């Protein structure tokens, strides 16, 4: 597949050591556009939309943020927000920075547990990118939907 | 037939060669900005070779504007006022500048290219920032994810800083990391120790610098850094002081207390340290010892979510509800805060609600 200069730069920024220690692709050898395409299909198959997922993640992040004293219950979910000093940028080189933080969520009904960052939400909403398999903050669409809805 | 093809290939190759040469020569002519002058604060002039970013041009002259991303235009830290020259504002700068900064000619020095003579205003303290080589003298494990790192300075072999300021540590290329990055960390030791200093560094998931510090850095390793930076230091007033910190945010407060111990103070002071569980507490005995040093000082560790097994009998929850135990005269109280952005946000709101003037609340700008 012939890549544009922009795509080559994005793929490079996703490698380990550029923006984050282990990168955004994990052990996934596929091009990021192929990762996006497969995840988009999966979401369609599950009858959800990208915006629904991003909206829900934003809502849960805001709920978790409200509880500085530790985990909080929100419906069937237990949420916890961890915040670190510093900021991180988008591998697609969008302007702006994202807080270094992570939200953990556990669905008490099915025991599915996962975590995401503020950058994850941006990557999902704007780029439909859930990260490569094996990446620290990869959000498998099927597991994510099971957890947050 | 073969000869004809070869002839055409040769002609094409020669054409490409000529075109490449024309492009290279044109680049040399049009990208050669010659020597440019950078006038700083209307009183100091530097002659630099044009074409580099303002940030890099200044660094080549040993003037280090703070930058957390190493000049990649992603942190928005390297702001300075450009009064003349500098070209038009770039789209890469706009997201980092508010309306007041845009109106005040503030630019990101990593995005401004020096293509002509340029005039800038930077704080005088920047001239005190130097580049250092140091060796790692000691690494202490404070908690499961926090280490205290002692640096012995090699070249230059002494540093002048105010308690509360920070340095920028540069990572080398390590393991599979292909590029060097620099990150800001508050100094946690007292300023009177001129030839060494300590940083307290918490592991950040996926953090390039903190992974290097926690998993690769060893005693005896040589490192590079720049500093000191920042305006987070104790103001010389008589006001009561409330310190609030969490995690590695203990670093600058420790430096401030050690400094005040040497200089002496009769100010009323209290220190609230927030953590999740008992395993996140560290240097507690050391902080308690300051009660014997100062006439009016208290240390309050507060745990937000202690486990039952820990049998924690101290204060529980977030730190804010306990401020009222200490703050008697909010208008005459100064707050020094260091921690995660979320903690800073919650604490600032509570302090303002209690009547502490916003101008009396200080924190690290790089959090």
- ipTM score above 0.85: no
Q: How far apart are CA B164 and CA B227, in angstroms?
A: 12
The H-or-E segment that residue B5 falls in is helix B2-30
Chain A residue numbers touching B304 (CB-CB < 8 A): 68-70
A18-27, A107-116, A120-129, B155-164: least confidently modelled range = A18-27
pLDDT at B85 over 70: yes
Sequence-distant contacts of A38-42: CB under 8 A, at least 24 apart:
A39/A128, A39/A129, A39/A130, A39/A141, A40/A128, A42/A141, A42/A142
- CB-nearest to B206 from A20, A69, A85 is A20
Domain extents in chain B: 35-126, 129-229, 240-363
- Report the residue of chain B nearest A96, measured CA to CA: B95
- CB-nearest to A21 from B75, B211, B366 is B211
Q: What confidence tens digit (pLDDT) does each residue in A42-68 have?
A: 999 999 999 999 999 999 999 998 876
Using only C-alpha atoms, chain B has a radius of gyration, in whole angstroms, of: 25
What is the topology classification, in CATH, of domain B240-363?
Rossmann fold (3.40.50)
Q: What confidence tens digit (pLDDT) does each residue in B36-78 have?
A: 999 999 989 999 988 889 999 998 898 988 886 667 777 788 8
DSSP letter assigned to residue B332: G
CA distance B248 to chain A (A): 9
Interval B286-305 mean pLDDT: 94
Assign A10 to helix, strand or coil: helix
Chain A residue numbers touching B202 (CB-CB < 8 A): 84-85
Say what the pLDDT of residue B9 is.
Answer: 76
Chain A residue numbers touching B207 (CB-CB < 8 A): 20-21, 84, 86, 100
B109 interface with A at CB cutoff 8 Å: no
CA distance A146 to chain B (A): 24
How many angstroms from the chain centroid is the CA of residue B164? 11
Number of Cβ within a 10 Å radius of residue B199? 22
Say what the pLDDT of residue B268 is.
Answer: 96
Domain range B129-229, CATH class = mainly beta
Q: How far apart are CA A24 and CA A11, in angstroms?
A: 9
Chain B residue numbers touching A102 (CB-CB < 8 A): 205
A97 interface with B at CB cutoff 8 Å: yes
- The encoded tokens of residue B133 equal 């080589």
- CB-nearest to A97 from B75, B202, B206 is B75
Which residue carries 């099971």 as its tokens?
Answer: A146
Q: What is the CATH number of domain B35-126?
A: 3.10.20.30
List all residues 6 or more positions away from B315 whose beta carbon is below 8 Å from its beta carbon.
Answer: B300, B301, B302, B303, B322
| Confidence (pTM) | 0.81
Say what the pLDDT of residue B25 is.
Answer: 65
Q: How far apart are CA A85 and CA A115, in angstroms?
A: 18
Which residue carries 């390590």 as its tokens?
Answer: B174
pLDDT at B367 over 60: no
Contact between B205 and A89 using a beta-carbon 8 Å cutoff: no
């Amino acid at each position: 597949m012939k890549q544009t200069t922009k795509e080559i730069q994005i793929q490079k920024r996703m490698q380990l050591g550029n923006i984050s220690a282990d990168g955004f692709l994990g052990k996934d050898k596929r091009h990021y556009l192929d990762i996006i395409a497969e995840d988009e299909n999966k979401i369609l198959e599950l009858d959800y939309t990208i915006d629904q997922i991003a909206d829900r993640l934003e809502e849960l992040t805001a709920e978790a943020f409200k509880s500085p004293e530790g985990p909080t219950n929100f419906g069937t979910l237990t949420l916890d927000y961890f915040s670190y000093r510093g900021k991180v940028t988008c591998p697609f080189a969008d302007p702006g920075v994202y807080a270094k933080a992570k939200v953990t969520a556990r669905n008490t009904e099915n025991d599915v547990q996962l975590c995401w960052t503020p950058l994850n939400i941006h990557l999902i909403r704007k780029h439909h990118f859930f990260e490569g398999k094996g990446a620290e903050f990869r959000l498998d669409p099927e597991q994510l939907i099971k957890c947050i809805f | 037939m073969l000869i004809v093809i070869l002839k055409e290939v040769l002609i094409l190759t020669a054409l490409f060669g000529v075109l490449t040469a024309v492009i290279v020569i044109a680049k040399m002519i049009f990208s050669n900005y010659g020597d440019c002058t950078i006038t700083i604060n209307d009183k100091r002039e530097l002659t630099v070779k044009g074409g580099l970013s303002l940030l890099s041009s200044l660094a080549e002259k040993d003037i280090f504007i703070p930058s957390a991303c190493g000049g990649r235009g992603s942190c928005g830290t390297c702001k300075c006022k450009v009064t003349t020259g500098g070209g038009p504002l770039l789209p890469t700068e706009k997201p980092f500048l508010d309306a007041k900064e845009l109106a005040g000619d503030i630019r990101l020095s990593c995005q401004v290219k020096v293509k002509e003579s340029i005039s800038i205003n930077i704080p005088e303290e920047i001239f005190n920032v130097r580049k250092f080589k140091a060796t790692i003298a000691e690494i202490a494990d404070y908690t499961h994810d926090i280490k205290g790192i002692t640096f012995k300075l090699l070249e230059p072999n002494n540093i002048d800083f105010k308690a509360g300021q920070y340095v920028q540590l540069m990572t080398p290329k390590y393991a599979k990391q292909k590029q060097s990055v620099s990150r800001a960390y508050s100094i946690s030791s007292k300023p009177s120790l001129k030839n060494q200093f300590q940083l307290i560094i918490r592991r950040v998931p996926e953090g390039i610098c903190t992974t290097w510090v926690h998993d690769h850095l060893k005693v005896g390793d040589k490192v590079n850094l720049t500093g000191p930076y920042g305006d987070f230091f104790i103001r010389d007033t008589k006001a009561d002081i409330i310190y609030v910190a969490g995690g590695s945010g203990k670093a600058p407060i420790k430096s401030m207390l050690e400094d005040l111990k040497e200089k002496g103070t009769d100010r009323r002071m209290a220190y609230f340290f927030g953590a999740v569980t008992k395993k996140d507490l560290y240097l507690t005995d050391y902080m308690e010892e300051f009660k014997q040093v100062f006439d009016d000082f208290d240390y309050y560790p507060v745990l937000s979510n202690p486990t039952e097994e820990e049998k924690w009998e101290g204060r529980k929850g977030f730190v804010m509800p306990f401020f009222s135990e200490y703050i008697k005269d909010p208008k005459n109280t100064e707050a020094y805060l260091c921690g995660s952005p979320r903690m800073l946000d919650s604490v600032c709101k509570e302090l303002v609600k209690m009547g502490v003037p916003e101008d009396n609340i200080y924190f690290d700008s790089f959090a």
